[in-house]
A = this chain, B = another copy of it.
Amino acid sequence: MSVEIHTLSNGLRVATEEMPGLQSVSVGVWVSAGGRHERIEQNGIAHFLEHMAFKGTKTRSALAIAEAIEDVGGYINAYTSREVTAYYVRLLKDDVGLGVDILADILQNSILDPREIEIERGVILQEIGQTNDTPDDIVFDWLQETAYRDQALGRSILGPSDNVSRFSQENLSQFIAEHYSPDRMILAAAGGVSHDEMVKLAEAAFGHMERHPAAEPETLATFTSGEFRKLKDLEQAHFTMAFESPSYRDDDIYTAQIYAIALGGGMSSRLFQEIREKRGLCYSIFAQAGAFADTGLTTIYAGTSGSDVADLANLTIDELKRAVQDMSEAEVNRARAQMKAGMLMGLESASNRAERLARMIQVWDKVPDLEETVRRIDAVSLENVREYAEKFASQAQMALTCYGPVSDVPTHHDLEHRRAA
């Protein structure tokens, strides 16, 4: 299996990874237009536009788009994240041409019919309601906001209801003009498809798209310390903390990920063992090292009862400190093994492979060999992780966010005091 990349004359990059033996193909377009590309008054518009893509083009109604894909048993969907909006299909391999054609159509010819905008507004307001009703979803939105206060990277993807109630056809068209330029798009495919075929399909479907003027460069994010807590009559107290950590482009990213796995990445991790296995204080607890282009966020999450949440918060701080003192070679070896095997097993899925191609090209403008990635993971030493643990536990800033029966959670100041003690 090898990755091939071709750039069309308008700047759109085409990446293909053929997976012999697969009967299906996963293909999508990743557009560098996510939540962090919105100005404050635009917050929520990248996601609104993602919804509108399915609501009709010059030649296809919403129903015709859905029927075209589902007639051949395929699946079409999209998502919006902080840095990207992705539109993708999964199809049997003979239908890949249809898939690319539909993706090209919804990305270039969406009509943004005002009546459909009104209807979709209702759908998105319901989606916001659903998120607000799901505590372990919404608490991560608030954590992001605490960690990047008053910045595009901190705002929610769905946006506030007020914005969603207000966006017009003109607002949506403007966001397209600002961001949906072919040099900001990656067409990535994995599975039963050849690179030559993909390039031909891409040329025919996207080759005539014109480049827009460059969008404003996104502002660099700055991590902010702080606390947000919202009391609510829930059964669980949702406790989260975030610390700044390396960006995708940072050399330390693998060290940060290995540290996060050892801290809270699996059943043998420190947080799982100390807080769930030894004390039974929670069902869910984990740490993970997320990353963006210019910054990263390592988050810790646990759900517990209101009467246990103070203990849980203090114990979590203690684990950060203990990791500095006694992180072992065995733990680092295990975390490396988990990271490598997890990557290899994940890449048995065509959808994961296509996603990886697009993300790597967006971040690095190339797709490293698996062997290179494995070498970089193997190069992380115990000493690296220990140094990182020390830097991590001693850094000046922390974002704390809690939701539910959380009145007993120590204050940000008290947790920081414990961390420094």
Q: Which residues of B contact A384 (CB under 8 A)?
A: none
Q: Decide if A122 is an interface residue (CB 8 Å cutoff).
A: yes
Q: By the criterion CB–CB under 8 Å, are B121 and A280 in contact?
A: yes
Q: By the criterion CB–CB under 8 Å, are B334 and A71 in contact?
A: yes
A268-B129 contact given A20-B21, A23-B348, A344-B23, CB 8 Å threshold: no
Q: Which residues of B contact A54 (CB under 8 A)?
A: 267
Select from chain B the residue with minimum beta-carbon distance to A91.
B341
Choose from B24, B69, B124, B303 the contact partner of A344 (Cβ within 8 Å). Answer: B24
Q: By the criterion CB–CB under 8 Å, are A70 and B236 in contact?
A: no
Q: By the criterion CB–CB under 8 Å, are A119 and B277 in contact?
A: yes
Q: By the criterion CB–CB under 8 Å, are A67 and B280 in contact?
A: no
Choose from B67, B341, B350 the contact partner of A72 (Cβ within 8 Å). Answer: B341
Q: Which residues of B contact A66 (CB under 8 A)?
A: 266-268, 272-273
Q: Decide if A396 is an interface residue (CB 8 Å cutoff).
A: no
Q: Which residues of B contact A273 (CB under 8 A)?
A: 62-63, 66
Q: By the criterion CB–CB under 8 Å, are A284 and B70 in contact?
A: no
Interface segment, A132-140, A221-229, A386-394, A408-416?
A: A132-140
For the complex, give the distance between the alpha carbons of A227 and B47 in Å: 37
Q: By the criterion CB–CB under 8 Å, are A341 and B74 in contact?
A: yes
Q: Decide if A176 is an interface residue (CB 8 Å cutoff).
A: no
Q: By the criterion CB–CB under 8 Å, are B133 and A135 in contact?
A: yes
For the complex, give the distance between the alpha carbons of A236 and B122 in Å: 13
Select from chain B the residue with minimum beta-carbon distance to A233.
B233
Select from chain B the residue with minimum beta-carbon distance to A404.
B133
Q: Which residues of B contact A342 (CB under 8 A)?
A: 73, 75
Q: How many copies of this chain does one complex carry?
A: 2
Interface membership of chain A positions 246-282, coded 1 if the CB is closer than 8 angstroms to chain B and 0 otherwise: 0000000000000000000011100011001111111
Q: Decide if A337 is an interface residue (CB 8 Å cutoff).
A: yes
Q: By the criterion CB–CB under 8 Å, are B282 and A126 in contact?
A: yes
Q: Which residues of B contact A74 (CB under 8 A)?
A: 341
Select from chain B the residue with minimum beta-carbon distance to A22.
B348
Q: Decide if A76 is an interface residue (CB 8 Å cutoff).
A: yes
Q: By the criterion CB–CB under 8 Å, are A90 and B345 in contact?
A: yes
Q: By the criterion CB–CB under 8 Å, are B348 and A283 in contact?
A: no
For the complex, give the distance between the alpha carbons of A76 and B119 in Å: 44
Interface residues of A in 60-97 (CB under 8 A from B): 62-63, 65-67, 69-76, 90-92
For the complex, give the distance between the alpha carbons of A24 and B280 in Å: 32
Shortest A147–chain B CB gap in Å is 23
Q: By the criterion CB–CB under 8 Å, are A129 and B235 in contact?
A: yes
Q: Which residues of B contact A330 (CB under 8 A)?
A: 67, 71
Choose from B24, B122, B236, B344 the contact partner of A126 (Cβ within 8 Å). Answer: B236
Q: By the criterion CB–CB under 8 Å, are B268 and A63 in contact?
A: yes
Q: By the criterion CB–CB under 8 Å, are A304 and B67 in contact?
A: no
Q: Decide if A419 is an interface residue (CB 8 Å cutoff).
A: no
Shortest A88–chain B CB gap in Å is 13
List 25 A–B pairs whose Cβ atoms lie within 8 Å, in order of A's numbering.
Answer: A23-B345, A62-B273, A62-B277, A65-B267, A66-B266, A66-B267, A66-B268, A66-B273, A69-B267, A70-B334, A71-B337, A72-B341, A73-B340, A92-B341, A119-B278, A119-B280, A122-B280, A122-B281, A123-B276, A123-B282, A126-B236, A127-B283, A130-B284, A130-B303, A133-B136
New contact pairs (20) apart from A129-B236, A133-B234, CB-CB < 8 Å: A20-B21, A24-B345, A55-B277, A63-B268, A63-B273, A66-B267, A67-B268, A69-B267, A70-B268, A71-B330, A73-B339, A92-B344, A119-B277, A121-B280, A123-B280, A126-B303, A129-B235, A130-B283, A134-B135, A348-B348
